[in-house]
Structures are given as C-alpha cells and as structure tokens.
Amino acid sequence: MAAPTYSFGKTLLKIDNVSLEYDDRPVLSGVTAEVRDILVPGKIQGQVVGILGPSGCGKTTLFRIIAGLQAPTSGQVSVNGFDRPVIAGEVGVVAQSYPLFEHRTVLGNLMLGARKKEKDAKVAHDKVMEFLNEFGLEDKYGLYPAQLSGGQRQRCAIIQQILCSEHFLLMDEPFSGLDLIMLEKTCELIAKVADMDDLNTIIVVTHDVTAACSVADHLWLMGHVPGDDGSALPGSRIVKQYNLIDRDLCWQPNIITTARFTDFVREVKEEFRRL
C-alpha cells in the first residue's frame, strides 16, 4: 500500500541546537529538530510527535525547555515562526497526574484557561461548553475533579491546556499505568485533539515504544552518541528521527495489527536498546 499523499508547510516548532549543562556537566548537547505543518489534501491533519528514550536521557529536561519552563544553556526553542525563545504558556503542558484545581468544578477549572485568551466571559463560557460537548463531558461541568474518572480527568486537563495555549500541547508519559482499553482510548484522544485543527501539534514524551508508534507521525529517539573510542559522548541528543508517514504507518484503522507495524516497533526497540 502506498504512503499517504502529503506535503510539509511552515515550521510550527523549532529546536535549534539546544544544550544544557548542570555544574559543567552536559545533560543535553546540540539537540536539533523541527515540527512542520503536515498538509493532506481534503483533510484536517494535525501533528503528533513522540519523544522516546531510556530513563535519564534528558527527555524531561527537553520537555521543560520546549514548554518554556526552563532556559537552555545555549540554543533555543521557538514556536509559530517567532525568532525568540518560547514563552511559558505558549505550549500547553499535561502532566502525568493531570493536575486540576480540586476546589473548583470542571467548569471553573476550564474557565480559568479560557479567560486567559478570551476577555469576554460569555465567549469564554461558550468555548468551554463547546469543548465539553466535543469531548463527551457536557454533563460533568458541575462536578469536582475528585468526582471524575481517570479518563475524564485526563480529558479535562487536555481541554484546559488547549484553551490556554491553542495549538501546542506537551504530554508527559500519558500511557503510564494504563490498561489496554484505556491505552487505546488515550491514543484515540491524542489523535482526535491533533485533528481538530491543522496547526495542532501534540508532543508526547514517553518510554512506551508501541504506544508512541501507534499514535505518532514522527518519532524522535533520544540518547548518547558514541565517540571514537566507543564510549558515549557527554550530553544526550536526538540520535534518530523516524517519519512514519513515509513508512505507511499513519492514519489507518487497525494499523497496529499489521506485520509492517510489528516490524517497525521491533526496529525501534532494537535501536532503543543500543542507547
């Protein structure tokens, strides 16, 4: 089967030679990558990037830098074509615990996010209700976070961050601790959020290779590069990038049941183990 017809548009997010040191110890070294708008004829198509890597390779540090929560020692991350470092709040962050204000209702939590962008309270309220309807939470607006299931809480946290940051969303280990049914629903949710707007860009930081392969259109594999003597050079970087579109592994129902998907996951896992 031929790979889907697509082209690349403008650069939406750029990581430009980012390095970070702690006490003169390199943690990240020359990390460079970009997310470009994926254009598919006759279809709204967002972007989903999976960042993979072993524990301690700097995934969380890069996560914080992309979110504008931590400044690199050198280089920069920029979004929307701006020639300046990303500012905290431009990229929404969904932490693993799906944090919400426990003393506020679902509506109250989401209104906080909406009012950051919309000065008119009615416009903000209408936008919140639109998202609640879209995500099947229209009857939960009066509940408190403690009254929600894990999946409902996750959806609320995602909506809150979309309302704040519009097109960019960072998700930290969204598949951790999920059973198979919830994992599948989370992958469907990520795809749904991405495909709500052509410019929507979801970056998933995870160690779950199979889940990342099933939801992403591109993968960035982080690790250390070996030096001339075979030992790892200081500082982690993106050592390999995969375009799943060109491999015909994107946007198809039941793709995870195919032999080529299984072979690809095996390929990534073998590369993962070498890091």
How many Å is the maximal CA-CA distance in the chain? 64
Are 148 and 97 contacting, i.e. CB atoms less than 8 angstroms apart? no
pLDDT at 185 (0 to 100): 85
3-state secondary structure of 39: strand
pLDDT at 8 (0 to 100): 96
Nearest-angstrom CA–CA distance, 229 and 76? 30
Nearest-angstrom CA–CA distance, 43 and 72? 37
Are 165 and 88 contacting, i.e. CB atoms less than 8 angstroms apart? no
pLDDT at 162 (0 to 100): 86
Q: How far is CA 16 from the centre of its chain?
A: 18
pLDDT at 230 (0 to 100): 67
Compute the chain's Rg from CA coordinates. Answer: 19
pLDDT at 35 (0 to 100): 97
| CATH number of the domain located at residue range(s) 7-90+168-274 in this protein | 3.40.50.300
pTM for the predicted model, two decimal places: 0.90
| 26, 35, 71, 219, 242 from 19: Cα distances, Å | 7, 19, 10, 20, 22
pLDDT at 2 (0 to 100): 64
Phi-psi region of 165 (alpha: psi -120 to 50; beta: other; left: phi over 0): alpha
pLDDT by residue, tens only, the chain of 275 residues: 566 799 999 999 999 999 999 888 999 999 999 999 999 999 999 999 999 998 888 899 999 999 999 999 999 999 988 889 999 989 999 988 788 899 999 999 999 888 888 888 999 999 999 989 988 899 999 999 999 988 889 889 888 888 888 799 999 988 887 778 888 888 888 998 999 999 999 999 998 999 999 999 999 999 988 777 767 778 899 999 999 999 999 998 888 999 999 999 999 999 988 87
